[in-house]
Amino acid sequence: MTNRFLQACYRQPTDTTPIWLMRQAGRYMPEYRQLRERYGILEIIKTPELACEVTMQPINAFDLDAAIIFADILPVLEAMGLKLSFVKGEGPIIHNPVRTAEDVQQLRTPSAQESLSFTLEAIRLVKSELESRHLPLIGFSGAPFTLAAYAVESGSSKNHRLVKTFMMNEPQTWQTLMLKIATVVADYLLAQAEAGADALQLFDSWAGQLSPADYERWVMPYSQWVINTVKAKTKIPVIHFGVNTSGMLHLIRQGGGDVIGVDWRIPIHKGWEIIGYDKAIQGNLDPVALFASWEVLQVQAKAILDAVQGRAGHIFNLGHGILPETPVDNVKRLVDFVHEYSAKYAHS
The residues carrying an active-site annotation are 23, 27, 36, 72, 150
- Torsion angle (degrees, nearest 10) of CA 294, 297, 303, 305: -80
CA distance 69 to 191: 13
CA distance 111 to 220: 23
Q: E strand or H helix at 235, and its extent?
A: none
Q: Are 224 and 217 in contact (CB under 8 A)?
A: no
- What is the helix, strand, coil percentage profile of the chain, to 5? 55, 10, 35
CA distance 94 to 230: 28
* CA-closest candidate to residue 341, choices 304, 312, 313: 304
Please calculate the CA angle 55-59-62 and round it to the nearest 5 degrees.
140
In the chain the beta strands, taken as DSSP E runs, fall at 67-68, 84-87, 91-94, 137-142, 199-204, 238-242, 259-261, 280-285, 314-318
Count the Cβ atoms, other than its own, within 10 Å of residue 1. 11
CA distance 129 to 205: 29
CA distance 203 to 145: 10
CA distance 240 to 224: 10
